[in-house]
Copies of this chain bind each other. A is one copy, B any other.
Amino acid sequence: MNKRSGINSKKRILDAALKVFSEYGYKGASMRMIASTARISIGGVYLYFANKEELYLTLIKERLDDFSAQVKTSISEIEDPVKAISSFIMMYLEYAKTHKELILTQGREHGFAFAIDIKREFFKEQRGIIEGIVARGIQSGVFTECNAKEVTKIIMGTMRGFILSIVVDPDNLFSPKECCRLMLGGLLKRTNRAEGEKVRR
């Protein structure tokens, strides 16, 4: 494993870091674990990343940007607020399932004010997107009159809850489809039949 292999090394390290950080958390993951998973020496890791923190931050930033881009492209052109919200929920949960619990690694360690600026930025953006959809829905009379900001926070909360559930109670994850249904239709019975049907599809 020498010379030209260096082209892949950085990527291999990042892949390994994702795996190890996800499984053991920031403190629990050791640089040696990451190195051996990436099939490189400990010293080799420090060739590409100055220290553990930089490696971790690079990883988080990479993932957040990737996710952010995916959200944008997947719902930017959807006009219908109902479809837009549904799409957001579906894609968020699908992404969370695929990329498991890296997101959870954030927050926990360091007294949880770690990559706070990067995260804040990300969350703010996400909130902006949903809030826009909700506001549009209210304005067009499709959604009930409510506090768009609060509803947005609740939706984001539920998404986060899904992520936490993956880690804590993976045998009992809720279905994205049912989640859309509940968020849109609510638990209380509707007397108007047409509405009920709209929700169901």
Q: Which residues of A contact B (CB under 8 A)?
A: 23-28, 82, 85, 101, 104-112, 119-120, 123, 127, 134, 137, 141-147, 150-151, 153-154, 156-165, 167-169, 172-175, 178-179, 181-192, 195-196, 198-199
- Nearest CB in chain B: distance from A20 CB, A: 10
- Nearest CB in chain B: distance from A110 CB, A: 8
Question: A120 — which chain B residues lie within 8 A by C-beta?
Answer: 169
Q: A148–B163 Cα gap in the complex (Å)?
A: 21
Not counting A25-B109, A157-B179, A160-B161, a sample of 10 additional A-B residue pairs whose C-beta atoms are within 8 angstroms of each other reads A25-B25, A134-B187, A144-B185, A146-B187, A147-B178, A153-B165, A154-B158, A154-B178, A160-B168, A190-B195
Q: In this complex, what residue of B is CB-closest to A29?
A: B27
Establish whether residues B109 and A28, one from each chain, have CB atoms under 8 Å apart when the complex forms: yes
Establish whether residues A141 and B189, one from each chain, have CB atoms under 8 Å apart when the complex forms: yes
Question: A159 — which chain B residues lie within 8 A by C-beta?
Answer: 161
Question: A110 — which chain B residues lie within 8 A by C-beta?
Answer: 28
- Nearest CB in chain B: distance from A198 CB, A: 7
Establish whether residues A182 and B183, one from each chain, have CB atoms under 8 Å apart when the complex forms: yes
- Nearest CB in chain B: distance from A22 CB, A: 9
Q: Which 6 A-B pairs have the closest CB atoms?
A: A186-B186, A161-B161, A157-B161, A153-B174, A27-B27, A160-B161
Question: A123 — which chain B residues lie within 8 A by C-beta?
Answer: 168-169, 172
Establish whether residues A188 and B184, one from each chain, have CB atoms under 8 Å apart when the complex forms: yes
Question: A147 — which chain B residues lie within 8 A by C-beta?
Answer: 178
